Amino acid sequence: MKVEDLHKHFLTREGRLEVLKGVSFEVREGEFVSVVGPSGCGKTTLLRLVGGLDSPSSGRITIDGKSPDPSLHRLGFVFQEDSLFPWRTVWENVRFGREVRGMEGEREVGELLERMGLRGFERCYPHQLSGGMKQRVAIARALAVDPDLLLMDEPFANLDAQTRWILHQDLTRIWEEVRKTILFVTHNVEEAVYLSDRVLVFTVRPARVKRVLRVGLPRPRDKLSAGLVKLRKEVVELLREEVPYL
């Protein structure tokens, strides 16, 4: 996936709001890339553009060299809030994207649920699950369509620290198994460096890519390892240049 000189503005009552100002980067196939940046800088906007939920003011987005096209590309989305269908069971939620695309595969759904630690909960409804389990279902549902690109917007932001930590480990394990290309937006610097191959640090709005950091540490990683702590510090220092009170 490649983004070239992306610009986005919104026209509001107050006038023209510049949100993205010349954002360029690439996410290679099978790579895990995170975006961190000050609140309101345009991270969700970027993800929405890449996901085709909104269109850029100018610039180019390509997946495998082609403009995003639902008939060519499969995208998976995982958002912060509950995005599960409350009237569908866990199994039916995970199967949803496959149904829409006419994909067979009860077996694949079962395997994914197993991988995500949801075995035994197939027939539960979302309201019967904890927050962490709901996000597991959301991840399984996104992976179920065998996406070319997985877009994740603060998927763990509403979870307590312990649940978040377990999901980090699980997501790392699953990503290593399935090797999907992931673009992951987060506020959490620790999470970004722990999970990613590379971290893109954005400026304040209008956002540009301020710095790209390569993590380059083997997995499984230790959050408290000297290498990760050093990187965290580096990212926080870059963010402080943007938002001094951080």
CB of residue 134 to ligand ATP, shortest distance in Å? 19
Instruction: State the binding partner of 155 from Mg ion, ligand ATP, none, CB within 5 to 8 A by kind.
Output: none
Ranges within 17-46 binding Mg ion (CB under 5 A) = 43-44
CA–CA gap between residue 83 and residue 154 (Å, rounded): 13
Binding residues vs ligand ATP (CB under 6 A): 10, 12, 17, 19, 37, 39-45, 187, 205
Identity of the residue, 44 or 93, whose beta carbon is nearer to Mg ion in the bound complex: 44
CB of residue 42 to Mg ion, shortest distance in Å? 8
Instruction: State the binding partner of 12 from Mg ion, ligand ATP, none, CB within 5 to 8 A by kind.
Output: ligand ATP
For residue 141 the two structure tokens come to: 């549902």
CB of residue 68 to ligand ATP, shortest distance in Å? 18
> H-helix or E-strand containing 228?
helix 226-242
CA angle 243/9/33 to nearest 5° reads 60
Distances in Å between the Cα of 76 and the Cα atoms of 70, 128, 172, 215 are 11, 24, 17, 24
Instruction: State the binding partner of 97 from Mg ion, ligand ATP, none, CB within 5 to 8 A by kind.
Output: none
The alpha carbon of residue 233 and the mean position of all alpha carbons in its chain are separated, in whole angstroms, by 22
Instruction: State the binding partner of 53 from Mg ion, ligand ATP, none, CB within 5 to 8 A by kind.
Output: none
CA–CA gap between residue 200 and residue 190 (Å, rounded): 13
Residues making contact with Mg ion (CB under 5 A): 43-44
